[in-house]
Chains A and B, each alone.
Chain A
Amino acid sequence: MIKLKYVIKIYPDGTEAVKDFSLEIKKGELCIFLGPSGCGKTTSMKMINRLIPMTSGKIYIDGVDVMKLNPNELRRGIGYAIQNIGLFPHLTVEENITTVPMLKKWPKTRQRARAEELLKLVGMDPQTFLERYPSELSGGQQQRVGVARCLGADPPILLMDEPFGAIDPITRGKLQDEFLKIQSKIKKTIAFVTHDINEAIKMGDKIALMQEGKLVQFNDPATLLNSPKNEFVRNFVGADRVLKGLRLYRARDIMQEPPLKVKVGDNPVKVRDRMKRDMLKWSMLVDGQNHFLGWITYADLEKAKSLREIMVPPAVTTAPETLLNEAMSMMFNSAIGNLAVIDDQEHLLGVLTFDIIRNILGKENSGNQKRFGGSKQ
Chain B
Amino acid sequence: MRKYIILGLLLGILLGLTIWMTSLGSVGIFKMAPPMKVLSATVRHLQIVEAAELLAITIGIPIGFLSTRRACRFISPVLIGTANVGQTVPTLAFIGIAGAVLGMGYKAAVIALLVYAMLPIIRNTYAGIRSVDPALKAAVKEAARGMGMSMLQVTAKVEMRLAMPIILAGIRTSMVVNVGTAAIAGMIGSGGLGELIVTGIAVRVTQLILQGAAPTAALAIILDALIGGVETWVTPRGLKALKSAQWQQ
Which residues of A does B touch, CB under 8 Å? 49, 51, 71-77, 80, 82, 84-92, 99-100, 103, 133-136, 149-150, 152, 159
Contact = CB atoms under 8 A, between A and B. Distances in A.
A75 B146 contact: yes
A92 B146 contact: no
B239 A100 contact: no
Interface stretch (B12-20, B59-67, B148-156, B170-178): B148-156
Nearest to A85: B139
A72 B142 contact: no
B154 to A, nearest CB: 11
Nearest to A166: B139
Interface string B209-244: 000000000000000000000000000111101100
B31 interface: no
Contacts of A149: 147
Contacts of A135: 238, 241-242, 245
Given A133-B237, A135-B242, A89 B136 contact: yes
B130 interface: no
Nearest to A86: B143
Nearest to B150: A72
Interface of B: 135-136, 138-150, 153, 158, 161-162, 164, 236-239, 241-242, 245
Given A76-B147, A76-B148, A100-B147, A134 B142 contact: no
Nearest to B241: A135
Contacts of B135: 84
Contact of A72 (B141, B148, B158, B162): B148
A86 B148 contact: no
Contact of B238 (A73, A76, A92): A92
B149 A103 contact: yes
A75 B148 contact: yes
A287 B32 CA distance: 106
A75 B147 contact: yes
A103 B138 CA distance: 20
Contacts, number: 83
19 contacts: A72-B148, A76-B147, A76-B148, A82-B143, A84-B139, A86-B143, A87-B140, A88-B144, A89-B140, A90-B161, A90-B238, A92-B238, A99-B144, A99-B147, A133-B237, A136-B237, A136-B238, A136-B241, A152-B147
Given A86-B142, A88-B140, A89-B162, A134 B238 contact: yes
A-B CB proximity, top 3 nearest: A133-B238, A86-B143, A75-B148
B238 A103 contact: no
A351 B142 CA distance: 49
A133 B162 CA distance: 14
A88 B137 CA distance: 9
A103 B148 contact: yes
A136 B139 CA distance: 18
Contact of B143 (A49, A80, A90): A80
A74 B162 CA distance: 26
B148 A82 contact: no
Contacts of B147: 75-76, 80, 99-100, 103, 149-150, 152
Contact of B241 (A72, A92, A133): A133
Contacts of A80: 143, 146-147
Given A88-B140, A89-B239, A90-B162, 14 more contacts: A51-B142, A51-B145, A76-B147, A76-B148, A80-B146, A82-B142, A84-B139, A89-B136, A90-B238, A92-B236, A92-B238, A100-B148, A103-B149, A150-B147
A165 to B, nearest CB: 12
B47 to A, nearest CB: 34
A103 B158 contact: no
A270 to B, nearest CB: 68
Contacts of B149: 72, 99, 103
Contacts of A74: 148
A131 to B, nearest CB: 9
